[in-house]
Amino acid sequence: ALELKLTPALVLLRSTLEQLQEKDTAKIFSQPVNQSEVPDYLEFVSQPMDFSMMVTKLEGHAYCSIADLEKDFNLMISNCLKYNSKDTMFHKIALQLKEVGGAVLRHAHRQSQSIG
Ligand SMILES: CC(=O)c1c[nH]c2ccccc12
């Protein structure tokens, strides 16, 4: 029903996730890492995470708070830092997204305190 779609908490979660995705301008986090292209991926990463999975989880009401969203965002970033060595573009992009995403999340935390 409509009222389940527009609760302020869900609206804030959706807008926060959209802002995080916008910061991933290279779109390296939009889809799961393709394990057929990257056969050793699961030797380094035990719990893959990407923005498409986070959208599915959000719409499935798996996130009750900004903190829940932040946990998967941090998992996604740390997976990337683990698999891709320091000298790669992907590693550098992940470090940048960690910074700018952190600011988005801090602002969202403040907003969620005001909507209760
Ligand atoms: C986010 C991430 O690690 C990757 C995103 N696309 C990839 C392609 C090959 C290996 C790793 C990746």
74-106 pLDDT, tens per residue?
999 999 999 999 999 999 999 999 999 999 999
85, two tokens: 């060595």
Atom of ligand 1 nearest to the CA of 80: 3
Q: How far is the CA of 80 from the centre of ligand 1 (A)?
A: 7
Mean pLDDT of the chain: 95
- Here the contacts of 90-96 (C-beta below 8 Å, separation 24 or greater) are 90/28, 93/24, 93/26, 93/28
Mean of pLDDT values over 19-35: 98
pTM: 0.95
Q: How many angstroms separate the alpha carbon of residue 28 from the centre of ligand 1? A: 7
Q: Atom 2 of ligand 1 has which residue's CA nearest to it?
A: 80
Over residues 56-60, the mean pLDDT reads: 97
Which residue has its alpha carbon closest to ligand 1 atom 3? Answer: 80
For residue 8, report the distance from its CA to the centre of ligand 1, in Å: 34
Q: Give the distance, in angstroms, between the CA of residue 95 and the centroid of all CA atoms in the same chain.
A: 13
Mean pLDDT of 6-35: 96
pLDDT of residue 115: 78
pLDDT at 3: 55
